[in-house]
Amino acid sequence: MPHLLHIDSSIQGDRSISRRLTARARERWLATHPAGTVAYRDLGAQPIPHFDAASGTARMVPPDTHTPAQAESYALTRELVGEIAAADTIILGLPLYNFGPPSTVKSWVDHLIAPGLSLSAETGEGLLGGRDFLVLASRGGGYQPGTPRHGWDHAEPWLPHGISLTGLQPRFIAAELQLAETTPAMFDLIPQAAESLAAAAEHEIDEQWADAAVAA
């Protein structure tokens, strides 16, 4: 039975563009996988604890030597890796905060880098590959070539590298200029923002899993 892992990370609640996109993708996936099941994790509402001196080394030492703090952190890593291992498809909402990913997404990735769980302790080979990993990004400004802030988006370039040891390979759909309606200096970009959201992001989402729909 096909299984989807749906992850949100925005702190914007109902105003969030990335949540709007992941919800649309989830609906599309369910429409093309009517027998499928879904698991949900909200990193914005229930953030993954960041590594600290007490717990952060849990993935670097043998489990039978863990302190209580390390054991608790390692148990969460097992849970997070298990969620991915159980999924055929992963959808992640990725807003851009201060030109980078939400810190909760960084913490999620940190927990996933675990020898013996997500990558082989002997060979270093990633153990989570072969899954469809769709990242739905939302950006307040424009970061395409030729724009003043081209290269300032450090979320999309980072994630494939950050997650690479696990074998996961993300693919991206993005909506840009999404602060145009609320930022006076960007008001003249409102039409482009609407086009980015509707024509690019939402249209691309609607085209996902077309082969699965035909097969069904």
Four-point Cα dihedral 171, 173, 177, 181, nearest 10: -140
Task: Report the alpha-carbon distance of residue 106 to residue 69 in Å, rounded.
Answer: 20
Q: How far apart are CA 72 and CA 104, in angstroms?
A: 18
Question: What is the SS3 assignment for 33?
Answer: coil
User: pTM of this prediction?
Assistant: 0.94
Distance separating alpha carbons of residues 12 and 135, to the nearest angstrom = 18
Strand partners, 134: 91, 171
pLDDT at 198: 87
The pLDDT, as a whole number, for residue 186 is: 86
Structural domain boundaries of the chain? 3-215
Q: What is the largest CA-CA distance in the chain?
A: 60
pLDDT, position 140: 87
**103: exposed, middle or buried (Cβ count in 10 Å: 0-12, 13-18, 19+):** middle
Q: What is the pLDDT of residue 214?
A: 47
Whether the CB-CB separation of 37 and 9 falls below 8 Å is answered with no
* pLDDT tens digits in sequence order for the chain, 216 residues long: 999 999 999 999 999 999 999 999 999 999 999 999 999 999 999 999 999 999 999 999 999 999 999 999 999 999 999 999 999 999 999 999 999 999 999 999 999 999 999 999 999 999 999 999 999 999 988 998 989 999 999 999 999 999 999 999 999 999 998 988 898 888 988 998 899 998 777 899 999 987 665 455
Q: Selecting from 3.20.20.70, 3.40.50.360, 3.40.720.10, 3.40.47.10, what CATH number does the domain 3-215 have?
A: 3.40.50.360
Tokens coding 109: 């990735």
Measured CA to CA, the distance from residue 36 to residue 117 in angstroms comes to 25
Residues 6+ apart with CB under 8 A from 115: 59, 121, 124
